[in-house]
Structure 1
């Protein structure tokens, strides 16, 4: 009788420990994985019922929030990940401490592209531009910048909007005005190429843009990650 009682106590202890420790440990692995992808101030929660399913690489839910996350060369602010029925590589998680997602019934990434992050992106990609200022409104994105042409200062005005293709987000240029003290002012439309911002091939699963919504001061982005 004591033998069976001891066995029951051991099983109960293992069950309690797994229900507490496994979700906590895997949540920390998910936080580390997102941090390695360029996320900052990450908080993640991985859970399953029963918790022992986590040993097999099966999670009912994956939720994470980050101050920002890097997608290619662009920073996505106030980012959140929401996943259901997530299959992850258990061997990688428990041996190499790498939370590698294999598949999910639902995995959605949301975040914001702000005027500040877009301004910094343009400054990195176009080092000849100076004093870049970006304004975001529901009706469009407005950029002003300065540059030099043959030692003569010019001022550039750009009007555009964020658009999406299946696996890309880009800044579509609707209008460009260039003002120069020597040559006057020229309005140019359709001459310059659109500016690519994000290529979703950088994500661990195949991803598609579900929605881009321009608002006052930011653009909300919703991305669906798919199994195939």
Structure 2
């Protein structure tokens, strides 16, 4: 079945179509049976009050504490000392609470609703993580992937292309991205909302890639992330593809 009639001009998106794809993408994440994956992979829909634009934020921890002692130290950093129960039991309780309460899956937001604040993790404070953001490009009228590194170890600079290649780019993509250069590869510019320098994947080749697919609007961002995200370490859990969602 052809789905191009779902869009005004496939594969481009109007702001209204992009907002709908974001809502459906977020709904798919909420309904997916992710289990422990929710500990280090979080998705949230953002709306900027000053512009009225919608975006998707994806937060992924770059590494988890490898031992129980590491986890206990994270509790201690929060000022409450070690929990009364064992580390494994504490994680199980936290996960059970998250599965029951979808709001527990969300990082903290600013009170003004802009969502510009840094995410807060109750269990993994000060762990290195990456924030991916999906914004609609005003000129190309296609989703664009922005990303920033946070709390990476040894005082390494976050806004550094070598850090991006070290922590995000899988080995099989490194030579390809370096050959492509700025156009179509990893670029840096001021963030479209915060105006703070950040990295992004240039969208100039997205149109040709998306034209090879025939996807309904509820699968648009799933397909797009599958095409764009892998080169900087963004892979969606398979449970999201399996999640059944209805209309908006």
Q: Same fold (TM over 0.5)?
A: no
TM-score of the superposed pair, with normalisation by structure 2: 0.26
The structure whose RCO (Cα within 8 Å, separation 6+) is larger is: 2
TM-score of the superposed pair, with normalisation by structure 1: 0.27
Q: As a proportion of its length, which structure holds more helix?
A: 2
